[in-house]
A and B are shown apart, each in its own frame.
Chain A
């Protein structure tokens, strides 16, 4: 199993550009999550999904969009990138059969200039 994979690893965007961060998992987990981590801070939940076709907002959803068309994939879309979105983005997945233990991807480091 590859676990949770994320692409790209690094990206630099100009203000106003858009991009999609990709996340995939091969563990047949129904829940998937997007977090952002700023320096010296813990992780904050952006969006999560309980299954294909169902998404919900987390603590910091503004400026982001998500979709979940398959169990495996959960892309995060940034529209009109702003410097405040400079951060490290982590994707994670979990399943109730594993007591909701979350497994994380390696992260995407995004800089908006």
Chain B
């Protein structure tokens, strides 16, 4: 059974710091990996999707990498801002369905 683990479960940083969120998965047969953002009481917003043939994807201050051989993905957030405070979820896709991690709750203080 596919398992997705996210470390740390919670993270608190001062504004301006660069930070890394980690995601590991047990099934190396991966189609793509998605990173989502979830604000309290809200739905999920897709941030980045990395296909299995790619090593990384970038969007603004966000950079996500994928290492299939080690079963790991990281989400790098540069120059963090209070507006980045949210829960970040990674999800592994074996094909058309996703298996989610429990998320990392990020708090960026001014």
Give residues in A with beta carbon < 8 Å to B. Answer: 31, 33, 35, 40-45, 48, 50, 58, 90, 92, 94, 96, 99-107
Q: How far is the CB of B67 from chain A (nearest CB, A)?
A: 19
Q: Is B106 an interface residue (CB 8 A)?
A: no
Check B100 against A102 for contact (C-beta < 8 Å). Answer: no
Judging by beta carbons under 8 Å apart, are A104 and B43 in contact?
Answer: yes
Residue in A31, A50, A99 whose beta carbon sits within 8 Å of that of B32 in the complex: A99
Contact A100–B32 (Cβ < 8 Å):
yes
Is B93 touching A103 in the complex (CB atoms < 8 A)? no
Interface size on B, residues (CB 8 A): 24
Given contacts A42-B89, A99-B32, A102-B34, contact A107 B42 (CB under 8 A): yes
CA separation between A58 and B4, bound complex, in Å?
A: 16
Contact (A107, B43) CB under 8 Å given A99-B51, A101-B34: yes
Number of A-B contacts (CB under 8 A): 58
Q: Among the listed A31, A40, A96, A106, which residue makes an inter-chain contact with B42, where contact means beta carbons less than 8 Å apart? A: A106
B residues apposed to A, CB below 8 Å: 4, 31-32, 34, 36, 42-46, 49, 51, 89, 91, 93, 95-103
Contacts A41-B102, A42-B103 given; indicate if A100 touches B4 (C-beta within 8 A).
no
Which residues of chain B have C-beta atoms less than 8 A from A104's C-beta? 36, 43-46
**Separation of A35 and B91 alpha carbons in the complex (Å):** 13
13 pairs from A and B in contact (CB 8 Å cutoff): A43-B98, A45-B99, A90-B44, A99-B32, A99-B49, A100-B31, A100-B95, A101-B46, A102-B34, A102-B98, A104-B36, A104-B44, A104-B46
Residue pair A33, B97 in contact (C-beta under 8 Å): yes
Which among A35, A40, A42, A99 has the greatest number of chain B C-beta atoms within 10 A?
Answer: A42
